[in-house]
Each structure stands twice: as structure tokens, then as C-alpha cells.
A and B are shown apart, each in its own frame.
Chain A
Amino acid sequence: MSKIHLHASIQRFANDYEIVDIPGNCALNELLNRLIEEFPRLKPIIFTNDQQISPYLVIFINGQDRRNLSDDVIVAANAEVEIITSLVGG
């Protein structure tokens, strides 16, 4: 299973889970869709209306920013995926 770590600011859309195990070995978008199947309230957070990953989310796959990986990269079954957002408080 791939472990998806959800940032504190979005955990409330996933029943307050911090880490969710999702079957991996698939493309990132597919993995995110599988996550959304479990937690439908994440859909408008993760994807824009035209199915692009939301520009305010930064996603790391095994520590690598997905923007530095090819679009069709396969997320390994045992991958660690981190979804983070910026914070604003000071």
C-alpha cells in the first residue's frame, strides 16, 4: 500500500486521518482518485474543475516534488506520498 500523508490543513476533509493507506503501483492521478473514492470531500481540494491537481497543493513522492517527475510516473506500491500546502499564520 502507498502511504499518503495528508497535511494538517486538509485532514478534516478525510475524517481527520493524517495517513491513509491506498493501493499504489499506479500513476499519481489514479492514486489520488483512489484516495478521493475513500474521501469524496477531498475532490474539490485535490483537483480543479478541469481535473488538474490544485495549484496550491505540493505533492512529494518519496521526497521528490511531483513537478520534477514525469507526468506518467508510477507511484510504487510502497511509496510515501506527502500532500502539503502553505501555511499563513505568523
Chain B
Amino acid sequence: MKLNQAELLRYARHFPVIGLEGQERLKQASVVCVGAGGLGCPALQYLCAAGVGTVGIIDDDSIAISNLHRQILFTENDLGKPKVAVAKERLANQNPHIAINAYHQRLSKQNAETLLKAYDMVLDGCDNYRTRYLINDVCFLLKKPLVSASIFQYQGQIGVFNYQQGPCYRCLYAEPPPPELSPNCDTSGVLGVLPGIIGAMQAAEVIKLIVNKGQPLTHRLVQLDALTMRFKEYAVKKNPQCPLCQRGELSGELFKKTEQPEELVPAIDPQLLSAWLHDPTQRVRLIDVREPYERSICDIGGDLMPSTRFNPAELHPDRKSPIVVYCKMGGRSESIAKLLKAQGHPDVFYLQGGILAWIDQIDPSKNKY
């Protein structure tokens, strides 16, 4: 696909490294990015700046204030707006010579094949295992290369899967770890600049695949520790036991395996908890499973037992008292409540909406974060 005059000027610094032909390949190429978050923002910026002709963005989320320390496409003026809409507007301003398709929806079993098949390759910047395995499985079915990356606190991982009959993501990671081992950025936090580094590396891998230059990151997993700024590389081979690409067991059951069905525990709303705490006849064991730094911002009492180090053996509850677990928004406390229930504690609840809901409904004098 030939470049026009404006494009010849815009991409002039690219020609010495990837050639006119490489730039034309970029113009002809189409890439879809799943997730417009920490990884997606920088990856999309570089892909669009580089002149990838058609870029898709899939995300059902809206912009929150806590996104802004790492999701560098967004500003305070964008709070509450759909990420894909704002990203599309910014990226179109950055490069008006490309087509950008925004899909304000969550990737699901129902829409994944339709959404992904229109593109040459897929960039995974999602933040949950269900989507991560779904992307891999659909990429394998559609024979689409997958540039996958993920982050945790100071660490990032990146690899290219399903490329030229190479290993798939399940060859390396047959199953996701349990939730308590694999918190996402909301729970465990992340150094803001880390997804910038890893997302830019994803864009570099996509561009290399399109222009067919260098050694793609297939058969290898690279891990960065930003604290030591050391990269480690691991050899990845096709796994003869891979349930997807070797044993061909892809089915609804395989998808379900990533869902990790768990026992349900009841939520308690702030109003009822407040009533319990003010009732002298009601004994309640309150457990705060947030991190100490969160506790220092605000709390509603109870024992501090962070979910990241939670050891049920350290809990010596009076079994006659109900246990109420709370965290910031309810996610971590629900997991810990399920764990406690599974261990035989009969009366376990988690605070619905977490301490943020408590502040909204019961005590607005406390600081939010």
C-alpha cells in the first residue's frame, strides 16, 4: 500500500530502519489491542505513531482517577468517560492517517471470534485471567499471532505466542494461579512507569512482526524486574501436554476452568454493619484485609490482616460471633470471606462496596483514596 506525500514526510525517520516497504506494510496492517489500560495506552500510542493502518481497541471500562498514574492517554477531564472513546480521540489527533476502531465492550466468548478475526494480530493488555486465556484460545483458533504482556508491582512479562506454529500461552502457563497469588493492579498496585516500558516493548514486537525484521519474542518469555532493572529470559517450547494446541481439548469446559468456581458468601451493606456495631447485644469480629498504608488513610476498626499475607491459622475467632471482612471496594474481602467459609467458619460476611461505600453512606468525614 503506497504512502502519500504527508505520510512520506511523517515517517521519514522510519525509512532508514524499516525501509519504505516496511512502512507500507505497517500501513496495510491491522492490529487489535485488548485493554486500553496501563499496557494498552503506551502500546497504542506507539503503534498509531508508527503508522499501523488499522488499529482496534477493545475495552468496556471507564476512566477513573486511580488510572492516571500510568494510563498516559487520559487526563482529569476524562474521568468517567469510556476509555476507548477517549483513546480513539487522542490517537486520531496523534495520527490522522490511520483508521481507529473503538469497541466499548468486554471481550467475551460470544464476541471474541468476531472482534479478533478482522485483524492481523492481537496485543493483549487485559487485566484478568479469563480474558487472557480467552484471547489466547481464540488467537490459536484463528491462527493470529499474539503479543502478550502482563505486570505485577515491579515486574513485567512479555512474549509472542501462536506465531508460525510456535507455542501458545497455555504451553507456558497451562492454568492460571489462584486469585490470591495473582492480584491485578487494583489490588497489588504497580509502579506507574512499568507498563510504559512493557507496553512499548509490545508495540516494538508488533512492529517487528509486521515488517518482518529481527528476532520476534517467540519461544521466549522475557521478564523485567524494574527494581533491579534486570531482564531475564526463559525458553518457551511447545508443551506436548498443552490442552489447547497439542491435545485439542478446547471446549466450553476449558474456558470454565479459568473461571474457578467458588463458594458464595453473603455481603453485608454498610447500613446493616453500622447497626450491628452500635448494637451492644451484637458481637461482630471485624477484619480489615487491606495493606497497612491503606489503613493509615482510613479505617473502621477491626484487626488488620492484609489479604496478601492472610493466614487463616492466625485467626482465632469466637465462633459464636459473625465475622465481617472489609477492604477498599469489596473484592479482596470477598475472596478472604470465601476462604474463611471454605475453612468452616459458618457466619462470614464481606462489606459490600468496601470502606469506600462505608464513607459514602455512614461516615463522610473519613478520607477516601
Contact = CB atoms under 8 A, between A and B. Distances in A.
Interface of A: 8-10, 12, 41, 45, 54-58, 60, 63-65, 67-68, 82, 84-90
Given A88-B128, A88-B182, 6 more contacts: A58-B234, A60-B234, A63-B234, A87-B151, A89-B150, A90-B39
Contact of B152 (A54, A64, A65, A89): A89
B254 interface: no
A55 B149 contact: no
Nearest to A57: B177
A90 B152 contact: no
Given A8-B155, A56-B173, A63-B234, A89 B181 contact: no
Interface string B152-192: 11111100000000000000111111100111110010100
A86 B235 contact: no
B75 interface: no
Nearest to A5: B232
B309 A12 contact: yes
B151 A84 contact: no
B145 to A, nearest CB: 18
Contact of B151 (A58, A67, A89): A89
The 9 A-B residue pairs whose C-beta atoms are closest, nearest first, are: A87-B150, A56-B177, A90-B127, A86-B173, A89-B185, A87-B152, A89-B151, A55-B175, A90-B125
Contacts of A65: 234-237
B223 to A, nearest CB: 7
A90 B241 contact: no
Contact of B308 (A12, A41, A45): A12
Contacts of B40: 90
Contacts of B176: 56, 86, 88
B265 interface: no
Contact of B155 (A41, A63, A67, A87): A87
A86 B184 CA distance: 11
Interface in B172-217: 172-178, 181-185, 188, 190, 195
A9 B235 contact: no
Contacts of B353: none
B368 to A, nearest CB: 23
Most chain A beta-carbon neighbours within 10 Å: one of B154, B172, B308: B172
A85 B221 CA distance: 12
A58 B181 contact: no
Given A65-B236, A90-B37, A90-B126, A55 B174 contact: yes
Nearest to B198: A90
A60 B218 CA distance: 17
Given A12-B309, A87-B152, A89-B188, A82 B182 contact: no
17 contacts: A9-B181, A41-B311, A56-B181, A68-B237, A82-B234, A86-B132, A86-B150, A86-B157, A86-B177, A87-B152, A87-B182, A88-B129, A88-B183, A89-B127, A90-B126, A90-B127, A90-B195
A28 B225 CA distance: 26
B302 to A, nearest CB: 21
A82 B157 CA distance: 14
Contacts of A84: 223, 234
Contacts of A41: 311
A90 B151 contact: yes
Nearest to A55: B175
Given A60-B234, A63-B234, A68-B237, A85 B177 contact: yes
Contacts of B149: 90
Contacts of B157: 86-87
Contacts of A54: 177
Contacts of B235: 60, 63-65
Nearest to A16: B309
B250 to A, nearest CB: 17
Contact of A10 (B174, B181, B195): B181
Contacts of A86: 129, 132, 150, 157, 172-173, 176-177, 182
A41 B181 CA distance: 13
